[in-house]
Amino acid sequence: MGFKSVNVAQTKSATQIIFDALRQAIILGELEDSAPLRQEEIAKAFNTSRIPVREAIARLEQLGLVETRRYKGAVVAAISIEEFNEIIDLRSVVESDAIRRAVPLMTKETCAKARSHFENFAVATKPEAWTALNRQFHCCLYEAGRSPNYLGVINRLLDRVDRYLRTQLSLSGRMETATQEHECILLACEAGDADRAAALTYDHVQGVKTSLGNYLKSKRERAC
């Protein structure tokens, strides 16, 4: 199984622990698309009954990370190219608006924290760290807008596509491009230019659809 097991026999939050572990494994790509989630196996790994496992899987299904298939049971949900494009389009709109609202409220401390995340992302060499650092950079900027509902939507959308974003960043030249785009967004924030920050964020997110969309399309064509 592609997740770290924990002994939760004596804990009252078994469902939350299992949910967090499975969610993280799916986001990081440790559990691949269509991988089966066998309740008995998971319960044994966490030293618990099937009840919290079933509850955790139900929560993951509500987030779109898991789907139940006839005769196969619960599996990691894959994303079609059409759904991926829809999610990216929604991210573009929500994130560009989030940063436009946030820029006027940003402090020097916010920008300093975001620059630290930017620098960490720029020098990261391990693919498993890229998506986490990418999320930290962007969400640090959005948090200044004090709009928890925006952040909730953004994080749920990122949960759906983060495992694909790591693939996108692994494509030739994408890390360098993402780093350059992050710096431009950050400079616009530091200058207090909300409209420019929003436009750059929109284009940055749309760039993911172009590069990774082509990759997913070619991958699906090869599989046919």
pLDDT tens-digit map of 63-89:
888 999 888 899 998 888 888 899 999
Task: Report the C-alpha gap between 129 and 121 in whole angstroms.
Answer: 8
Question: Coil, helix or strand for 120?
Answer: helix
| Cα–Cα distances in angstroms (integers) from residue 58 to residues 68, 71, 116, 149, 178, in the given order | 10, 17, 37, 22, 35
66 and 99 share one domain: no
Q: Which ranges constitute the DSSP H helices of 124-147? A: 127-143
104 and 212 share one domain: yes
**Are residues 34 and 66 in contact, defined by beta-carbon separation less than 8 angstroms?**
no
Task: Report the C-alpha gap between 135 and 178 in whole angstroms.
Answer: 12
Q: Which residue has the higher pLDDT, 181 or 129?
A: 181
pLDDT(218) > 90? no
152 and 205 share one domain: yes
**What's residue 2's pLDDT?**
66
Range of the domain at 200: 81-223
First-to-last C-alpha distance (Å) of the chain: 28
Query: Which of 22, 42, 76 marks a domain boundary?
Result: 76
pLDDT(193) > 90? yes
Q: Over the stretch 89-109, which tens digit does the pLDDT of each residue have? A: 999 999 999 999 999 999 999
pLDDT(215) > 90? no
111 and 43 share one domain: no
pTM beyond 0.85, yes or no: no
